[in-house]
Amino acid sequence: MTTSDQASGPTSDQASGSTSEPLSPVSRTALSVARVRAHESARPEPLFVDPYAAAFVAAADLPAPAADRGSALAKSLVAHGILRTRFYDDRLLAAGAEQVVLLAAGLDTRAYRLDWPAGTRVFELDLAPVLAFKDQVLDGLGARPSSDRSTLPADLRDPDWPARLVEAGFDPARPSAWLAEGLLVYLTAEEAAGLLTAVADLAAPGSRLLLEKGGDPAAAPQDPSLAHITDLWRGGLGPDTHGWLDRHGWTSELTTLDRIAETYGRPLSRATTRGFIEAVRRP
């Protein structure tokens, strides 16, 4: 399971020629996220710079970004992905946690590109082929992480990943920051609740969790060219994601996409109820 924004391209195992296990359709959308981030990074005044995103796109032989074309849904997803990246960048750094867990990390390079305080440990969890492709590209660039980076091949639907995370050095007794970027929409309500329950069991009081407000996939605009993505949406915990968190040991704050867009100087053309959640684990 990994993140998604727009249309997906070739699988990373096909592109790299080095991984034998085929990627799932959801995992392939990590390449689309990289394409969006490469597009934003090339703008004259970007909201963030991901110096590695274009290399993922090139390694996968994807076409050049085309965020200025396409349907209203495609443009909306691109804008959402750009604002989401910057917002999570800022909130993860502001959390000040020495342990950061990126769930379904995909081609996220925050362990490399953000200015982490000394001693920060970043754990990246995703399926093995995704991590293998990412490491191959980053190693080929001679990239060096700005954090103490640990990768953990894992399927987040398997019940053993929390124990394996602890075995990898994660300390549940210390506060942590968790990111589930673009993830819950691909899960059923039962799967999403199970995942967040596992996170809660590992998160010490004061830990922070970042994720999106859920929605109803059936209410999403229709675009046949994006069906390979939207058909995968299961809705997660739906519009009451922050309410669910509040009832299960967290104190959540929802920031609407409109407000975030205004803050970053990228106002939206239409109002939206979408937004991002930052939740703090209660004692």
Tell whether 217 is covered by a domain.
Answer: yes
User: Is 33 a domain residue?
Assistant: no
pLDDT of residue 71: 76
Q: Which amino acid is residue 105, in one-letter code?
A: A
Do the domain assignments include residue 161? yes
Per-residue pLDDT, 13: 33
Number of domains in the chain: 1
What are the C-alpha distances in Å from 187 to residues 159, 173, 180, 227, 266? 15, 28, 12, 17, 30
Q: What is the mean pLDDT of each run of 10 residues along the chain (283 residues)?
A: 32 34 59 93 97 94 55 83 97 98 97 98 96 96 98 95 98 98 93 97 98 75 66 82 97 95 93 91 97
Residue 39: the pLDDT is 94
pTM above 0.85, yes or no: yes
Residue type at 245 in one-letter notation: L
Whether 263 is covered by a domain: the verdict is: yes
- The pair of three-digit structure tokens given for residue 268, joined into one six-digit string: 């939206």
Residue 177 falls within a domain, yes or no?
Answer: yes
Residue 68: per-residue pLDDT: 44
Is 246 contained in some domain? yes
- Both structure tokens of 168: 């990898």
- Residue 217's domain comprises 72-281
How would DSSP label each residue in 121-153?
A: EEEEEE-HHHHHHHHHHHHHHT---SSEEEEEE
Q: What is the pLDDT of residue 102?
A: 98
What is the rounded CA–CA span in Å between residue 6 and residue 225? 10
Domain membership flag for residue 142: yes
Q: Is residue 253 assigned to a domain?
A: yes
> For the domain that residue 85 is a member of, what is the CATH number?
3.40.50.150
